[in-house]
Amino acid sequence: MLFGLATQGFAETKPLPHPSLIPSANPLCDSTLVPCLDIDDLAAHAYAHFLVLPSTDLRGSGVTIPYGVSMGLFGRLAAGISSHTSVWSIGEERSYSQGPVRFSATLLLYPFFPLRVRPDIPATGEYGSYYVPPRGLRVGLTYDHEWRVGPFDGVNTLGIATDLGTVRLVGTKAIGPFELTASVGALVDTRKQYATGEIAAQLGLYLPGVPALKLSIDAVARGVPAAVQQDFLLGLGDNPIRPQGALGLGVSYRPNARVDFGVSVTKGFGGLAPVTVIVRFLLVSFGKSYDGQAMTSLTQLGTDAAVLGVQRVKEAVENLLHEAASDFPIDPKLDDQCYIRDDDGSIMGKFGTRTAGGGFCEQDGQRVPIGQMLYRDRNSDRLCREITENPTTKLHKLRDCVLWRKGNDWLPAYQTRLNNRCELRDENGEFLGKLGERSNDGTQCRYPVSRNNGGYGTQKDVQEQPVGGIFYTDKDRSTICENPNLTRCFLKPAGGRSSLKLTNIEHGAVGFGTGIDEKAEGATQLGQNLKKLVTGRVHFGPLKEQLVEDVTEAAQTIRDPDKLLEIGKRKFNNLRQGITNWNNKPTGDKFQDAGAFAGTVAIDAAIGAATGALGRTSGELAEGAEKLGKAGKRGKQVEEVTQAVHTAEHAENIHRLGPSTKHAGFRKNYADRSASEIRRGITSLEAQIAEHEAKIANPGKFIPNWSSLDPRQQQALLEKKWPADIARQKEQRDILKGLLGREP
């Protein structure tokens, strides 16, 4: 009715010269030329698109507006009713036409199961949510029936004034960031007076970095073959069904399954509009997938566009022009037999053997998860978990590599990481070396190097590596390099040593040296004592006593007893926190830190240096030795501080430290139990370990609806939770085994 009012004064209806093809009635399809198989679980839509038609030699400029309603059910069936109206000009005359009513249906045939296909939840990326198309092959049928009835009496899509049925077989498959859709169909007059064929295809690219944006190229050809009844042919002229085609280029924005915004341009041939610009944004949706976001208004579009920003799109295009993430083939992964299979199923090589639990392939102590998708470089020399972009050069490079190829062999990549203290540590957390100091902006570790300056000696220079950087070493930790194949190496052990690893005694000595410079004598003895501490043969008692002694000694130099008490408590709290942190560190670090701690205690204990170490750390006043001569006063202070330290709940707090450390409660729980009880505990834990390994190997056996879980859930269980469960249970089992083997 509104359109009738709007078209008052227009010339009588007649066919639009150089018409455009009408887009699919399914607003989840982003192509003008190719139908799609995207269907909602339960949702309905009302939409209108705008097809702008520049002038041609047969008419002036015009516009065609398709509009309709549609709904999707169970991800398998979509149905809709629609029509379209066109207005255009020829000279001063304005004309319009009303297209027939179009009934449309789409049925997803394959995959057969599950019968109810629940679309994936939109993923969330750097720029908001985005639609994730199903990755497997999908096949379906679409049917469009154009019915000329009442005022909807315009010509059909072939430009003929009859009803028309169109059936198409559609297939679609996502490959990496690409999506290919193809269809073959037949356009048949409902009175069987004529028929013709049609083929169409679309290649889409979900833009790397902004996956809600999809670029696509479309093409359609029809009119060949064609069959027309002789009588009907005579009524239409010499060749009423001629070959036609169109090419299209489009971009669509899909934060959800539907197309929130799309623009495409098509170039038509054989009597179709030479150029058509299709704009789609007017869409109202109802359904559980669109709660809270029913309308894709221009305001919403404006907000989204602002968020994305011109710069973002520009960057994305620049990325494409450079070495883009899509240039790195994805999907190589280890199969159950530990063969490395590329995306096309071809075998790239083999790595290790499958672990007993079945979740990993292992070689030389390095494990790589089975089934985890990886990236490879063009030469297939490396397999890595990430791709990163250099913000300056925009070039992409592989990061977090797990395997590299040497000849025909795939070898594990032994990783090291540079932490924010500029320490290089291997995957076990072992300290391998310190790489200078952090830069002023905190992003780099800068370290001095000497360069051979020809015949003029050496030249001092500074190099840097990024904090958080991943580097690579070998099994023996003999070097550290930028690449997994051990090229561009920058750190080697000094002094003829073969490994960067430190022995435990060395760790203790290093820590001791940190605490008191140049006083390493006795470090070996200290290391041996610390070894006893770490291995549990002695406990914190001696350190606690040392603390009491140190503070008591320090008290002799401090005039104010309250300040002494404060110092004593603070030192104790520092000790407590230090022990807690210390217990969570790798064994080597414990030696190192314990050495440093002991050194610090030694400093504090040295009254002569109290104005240095103690004064610097506490900010308290210290008195000179000349004021310590009053034995009575000193004795009173010592007594007060000794009492303070003892009454500061030190002993109880230290006792409490046990449960705050990993498995301390577990150890204590079993400490006094009989051997048979401990053996039962070991058996129970090993059963749990076996169960978790079996879960990783065959999750569907344990999780009833495993195949329908969100892929992120599956990944979290396979790669994080269950492996962490196994690791914890193995630690507990080993504790129990240690208790069984303890000395009586």
Partner 1 sequence: MSSESSDQALLYLQDLAFLIKARATEAKQDRESRSCKDLAYALGRLMAFHEVISLMQQQATAFGLPLTTLGLADIDPDRDLLR
* Minimum CB–partner distance for residue 104 and partner 1 (Å): 26
Nearer to partner 1 (CB atom), residue 524 or residue 684: 684
State which residue, 346 or 707, has the beta carbon closest to partner 1.
707
Q: Which is nearer to partner 1, 11 or 724 (CB)?
A: 724
How many angstroms separate the CA atoms of 25 and 410, rounded? 51
Q: For partner 1, which is the closer residue by CB, 133 or 508?
A: 133
Angle subtended by helix axes 650-660 and 541-555, to nearest 10: 140
**387-395 long-range Cβ contacts below 8 angstroms, 24+ apart:** 387/325, 387/328, 389/319, 389/325, 393/322, 394/315, 394/318, 394/319, 394/322, 395/322, 395/323
CB of 207 to partner 1, least distance (A): 21
145 and 168 Cβ atoms separated by less than 8 Å: no
Using a 10 angstrom Cβ sphere, with 0-12 exposed, 13-18 middle and 19 or more buried, the burial of residue 701 is: exposed
Looking at beta carbons only, is 409 or 677 nearer to partner 1? 677
Q: In angstroms, what is the minimal distance from the CB of 581 to partner 1?
A: 23
Smallest gap, in angstroms, from Cβ of residue 94 to partner 1? Answer: 46
The answer to whether residues 131 and 257 touch, using CB atoms and an 8 Å cutoff, is yes
Helix (H, G, I), strand (E, B) or coil at 593: helix
CA distances (Å), origin 300, targets 283, 294, 297: 12, 11, 5
Q: Based on CB atoms, which residue is closest to partner 1, 443 or 713?
A: 713
Tokens of 439: 């830069």
511, with CB counted inside 10 A (0-12, 13-18, 19+), is buried
Of 173 and 667, CB closest to partner 1: 667
Nearest to partner 1 of 206, 290 (CB atom): 290
What is the rounded distance in angstroms from the CA atom of residue 658 to the CA atom of residue 666? 10
Query: For residues 667 and 684, what is the distance between their CA atoms, to the nearest angstrom?
Result: 15
The nearer residue to partner 1, 122 or 197, going by C-beta atoms, is: 122
Return the number of the residue (132 or 217) whose C-beta is nearest partner 1: 132
Residues in the chain: 744
User: Cβ distance 576 to 654 under 8 Å?
Assistant: yes
Write out the two tokens for 185. 């169909």
Side chain identity, residue 177 = P
Element (H, E) at 685: helix 675-697
Nearer Cβ to partner 1 (653/684): 684
For residue 369, which amino acid is it? Answer: P
In whole angstroms, how close is the CB of 732 to partner 1 at the nearest point? 5
CB of 39 to partner 1, least distance (A): 18
Q: Closest separation between CB of residue 669 and partner 1, Å?
A: 6
Cβ proximity to partner 1: between 193 and 729 the closer is 729
Q: How far is the CB of 132 from partner 1 (least distance, A)?
A: 11
Q: Which residues bind partner 1 (CB under 8 A)?
A: 121-124, 129, 288, 291-292, 666, 669, 677, 680-681, 684-685, 688, 702-705, 709-710, 712-713, 716-717, 721, 725, 728-729, 732
In order, the DSSP letters of 434-481 are: E--EE-TTSSEEEEEEEEE-TTS-EEEEEEEEETT-EEEE-TT---EE
Indicate the residue among 118 and 519 with the shorter CB distance to partner 1.
118
Question: Residue 454, Cα to own-chain centre: how many angstroms?
Answer: 47
| Residue 368 main-chain phi, psi, to 5 deg | -125, 130
Residue with tokens 């064994």: 587
C-beta closer to partner 1: residue 40 or 218: 40
- Distance CA(533)–CA(546), nearest Å, equals 14
Half-sphere exposure of 444 (CA within 13 A, CB side): 9
DSSP designation for 557: T
Spell out the residues 6+ positions from residue 546 whose beta carbon is closer than 8 angstroms to its own: 598, 601, 605
CB of 313 to partner 1, least distance (A): 24
Cβ-Cβ contacts under 8 Å for 687 (sequence gap 6 or more) = none
Give the integer Cα–Cα distance in Å for 732 and 682: 8
